[in-house]
Amino acid sequence: MSIPVRVQRLPHGADLPLPDYATAAAAGLDLLAAVTAPLAIPPGGRALIPTGLAIALPEGFELQIRPRSGLALRHGITLPNSPGTIDADYRGELGVILLNTGAEAFTVTRGMRIAQAVLAPVTRLAWVPVAALEDTARGAGGFGSTGLSTKPPA
């Protein structure tokens, strides 16, 4: 199923191709860097990378911005707010915050595939105030309370 999304190419990204799916079964589109000059991100540094695109999502959808696994594995490049969310009413340029967790500087060049975008439906919640919640086996245990191993402790 394809959902039509209106896209505006901004002047600094007009010569770049539109994001596309790398394979027929890919869930994410590859977003490209619309930097005007190479940009080095030092170890521990972060930078907002322009895409040269603005979009109009249909109401009821969001665009999730996620890291690319190859950049994460090979260079330690990730997104500190992953997944980032582009709301249906946002009309500014899509930007990607890259964080270099690697040991060496990473250089972003024009047209580089820097992140992926996944279109997702939005379901909104409706709060139902209650005096108390029902008990569960887990209860209030969190932050590692289920352990690291599937084996029961000896």
Instruction: Give dist(CA 85, CA 120) in Å, integer.
Output: 10
> 34-73 pLDDT, tens per residue?
999 999 999 999 999 999 999 999 999 999 999 999 999 9
At 75, phi and psi to the nearest 5?
-130, -5
Burial 98-111 (b: 16+ CB within 10 A, else e): bbbebeeebebebe
- 43 within domain boundaries: yes
149 found inside a domain: no
When divided into structural domains, the chain yields a total of: 1
**114 assigned to some structural domain:** yes
Query: Are the beta carbons of 88 and 120 closer than 8 angstroms?
Result: no
φ/ψ (deg, to 5) at 11: -50, -40
Q: Amino acid identity of 15? A: D
On whether the pTM is more than 0.85, the answer is: yes
Indicate the SS3 state at residue 116: strand
> Percentage of residues in the chain with pLDDT exceeding 70?
98
Per-residue model confidence as pLDDT tens digits over 106-120: 999 999 999 999 999
Q: CATH number of the domain that 63 lies in?
A: 2.70.40.10
In a domain, 108, yes or no: yes
pLDDT of residue 153: 61
* pLDDT, position 154: 64
Residue 138 included in any domain: no
The H-or-E segment that residue 62 falls in is strand 61-66
Range of the domain at 14: 9-121
